[in-house]
Structure 1
């Protein structure tokens, strides 16, 4: 009996899966592992199991004894238990009910033109500066930040400050830095909420609407707004950079998108499926009761990591799962979750990726990588693991 593997698993490069993970997947859909913090956990890698468990009430984010619960990392935002085990479901539904109206189809349709114009402006700057360029710095980073600032009503000029705080809060290794970054972020959110209330325009933006909602105090409004600020740009920054890398590195993939813009929707879905290869963590859940998962007996309180990246590369579900193909047609990926916890910002992320890939392929058809993909690096100790840089030319 070998000792449980310790996460994160070694990955040869941003386009190559961890060999250990793929070997484990070949053995079965659930595995006893050790997290980066040295704690025991279960890693679920099979698509059917992850899909079902994402919407299973026997798992939750809270733990009855949070101080002694297994953790997946040191980040205060995502490393361990969150919430109260007795009120978690009601609290989650309240949060979604408060946020859902701000992501309605009508509000997002109204935002589409602004997303496209922000994209065009960044591409104008890219063209004016000329090749070569770091596309991570020129597009993947500033576009999601500009969009989320527009949506929430956060001053774009504040981006150096809140970006520093979100990155600190997402630090998976340094709990003190993570805790301080989170505290700074919430304090900033409280100031924004107070300012919006003083300005008295309740429909100006998301924070203004939250600040004007009956029964929502300053602290709750600030916490909700800062959750959106973090999730609304950090995850899309990573997806956008990795998406362009996959499009340019996959044989014939960029050329196919350039030749036929109608494939953009399937290209976006393939980026969302393929870009995360798995083996670096997963969506943390805690068992609320004893349960069996694919023959493994999971006890109440155990940490269960739902590895959507691994599930999206389940070879029993996806044909040639590690191949990137903008024309892929098959089961839906699990990147945004499933069921009651499905990501509320998924339509916005899709809109941004579509605008970025459409604009790039139309205006820079000769775009190509200016570095060996194997030599590119991701930010290993940031929760969302974005590329450090993406050198391109045209």
Structure 2
């Protein structure tokens, strides 16, 4: 069966869908969304402000809001624009690796590279002062807390309040950045929507890529033959990037029966099972990415000639930041293999501290060593 009844981290019942074909189809199904007609009584995935209590909206209202978001951001986050950023991303990656080497070995790759690179990039794109990173890092961590609703709500509120102040500042002092372009292309009176969208971009634009860069470093450390192959021929980096994106973390500590939460806005059938309107559906992207019928030997970390993973979603809700994440991951790998002969974990996996209480997961530190 590719669908079963499970309990969420918040203790509510949900439908978990795990088959690749079924998850892919549901990702594009307009009958699934993030809103609910009765938010106070809706089943919850977690106590996080991000994926906790749903907002109240009709299916049409949600589709309209999503269309506005895509329309507003598409020019700035186009694949062509993201490709044009490669030289700048590589410059930033090289600078961070310079600083990492100066620290001596072992060094914390998470704090030295995996975290600051996506933050630097998304700050430059949005027009957010990088010197404020300690504040929005703290707010983002609080907002993504899974088991403390008040802490999560407070963190999200502080992040949105900060972005609201930044929007007002950009109205007076515009720049060459995404927030300024959103202000210029949006009718007056929608500053709150711009602040919330920008806050979501700031969060998603660094949290998920931080985890992916760390995951890539771990996977290459555990598979030295892949590292040697990339050193010999860096043209294989794009395929390795896709495999990093498909693969689960070697230290994943999340619930086994979990997935991306969506609500059924109308009744629908999956593999002969009827899901009533209002029910919570978990789209098991991690499980779909390991579906052996689609990915032979799914546990293996190997470049694949065909790798249509669902990490960025599928259909109209395909992640708008996917081109940027791919650029950042590939440029980090290019910088690493160009600089180091060997590179990998300086500790065993069981010594790593996993962020089990955080929505995106990842590790708190990643000690690495290398030879030049």
TM-score w.r.t. the length of structure 1 is 0.89
User: What CA distance in whole angstroms lies between the structure 1 residues aligned with 2:191 and 2:31?
Assistant: 32
Match of 1:101 in 2: 75
User: What CA distance in whole angstroms lies between the structure 1 residues aligned with 2:155 and 2:215?
Assistant: 25
Counterpart pick for 1:366 among 330, 342, 346: 342
Match of 1:381 in 2: 357
Summarize deviations over 1:215-266 as a string: whole Å, max 9, x none: 1522111111111000000000011101110111125121122121010000
Summarize deviations over 1:121-148 as a string: whole Å, max 9, x none: 0011112222111111111111111110
For the 8 Å contact 2:40–2:53, the answer to whether it is kept is no
SS in 2 for 1:297: strand
Segment of structure 1 superposing worse, 38-47 or 124-133: 124-133
Distance 1:198 1:274, change over 3 A: same
User: What CA distance in whole angstroms lies between the structure 2 residues aligned with 1:139 and 1:250?
Assistant: 20
Unaligned runs of 5+ in 2: none
Match of 2:168 in 1: 194
For the 8 Å contact 1:45–1:308, the answer to whether it is kept is yes
Match of 1:219 in 2: 192
User: What CA distance in whole angstroms lies between the structure 1 residues aligned with 2:174 and 2:346?
Assistant: 50
User: What CA distance in whole angstroms lies between the structure 1 residues aligned with 2:144 and 2:104?
Assistant: 33
User: What CA distance in whole angstroms lies between the structure 2 residues aligned with 1:168 and 1:353?
Assistant: 25
Counterpart pick for 2:285 among 308, 311, 322: 308
User: What CA distance in whole angstroms lies between the structure 2 residues aligned with 1:274 and 1:104?
Assistant: 25
Match of 1:6 in 2: none
Match of 2:273 in 1: 296
1:236 maps to 2:209: yes
Counterpart pick for 1:141 among 107, 115, 135: 115
User: What CA distance in whole angstroms lies between the structure 1 residues aligned with 2:167 and 2:257?
Assistant: 35
Match of 2:182 in 1: 210
Summarize deviations over 1:238-296 as a string: whole Å, max 9, x none: 11101110111125121122121010000000000013578363211111222221122
Could you list the structure 1 runs, at least 4 aligned residues long, displaced by more than 3 angstroms after superposition: none
Distance 1:377 1:323, change over 3 A: farther
Match of 2:301 in 1: 324
Match of 1:155 in 2: 129
Match of 1:127 in 2: 101
Match of 1:48 in 2: 21
How far does residue 174 in structure 1 lie from its aligned partner after superposition?
0.5
Paired residue total: 364
Segment of structure 1 superposing worse, 81-90 or 237-246: 81-90
Unaligned runs of 5+ in 1: 1-27
How far does residue 333 in structure 1 lie from its aligned partner after superposition?
0.3
Counterpart pick for 1:268 among 211, 234, 241: 241
How far does residue 193 in structure 1 lie from its aligned partner after superposition?
0.7
Distance 1:211 1:280, change over 3 A: farther
1:173 maps to 2:150: no
Task: Tell me how large the CA RMSD over aligned residues is.
Answer: 1.5
1:81 maps to 2:54: yes
For the 8 Å contact 2:47–2:147, the answer to whether it is kept is yes
1:334 maps to 2:307: no
User: What CA distance in whole angstroms lies between the structure 2 residues aligned with 1:83 and 1:246?
Assistant: 41
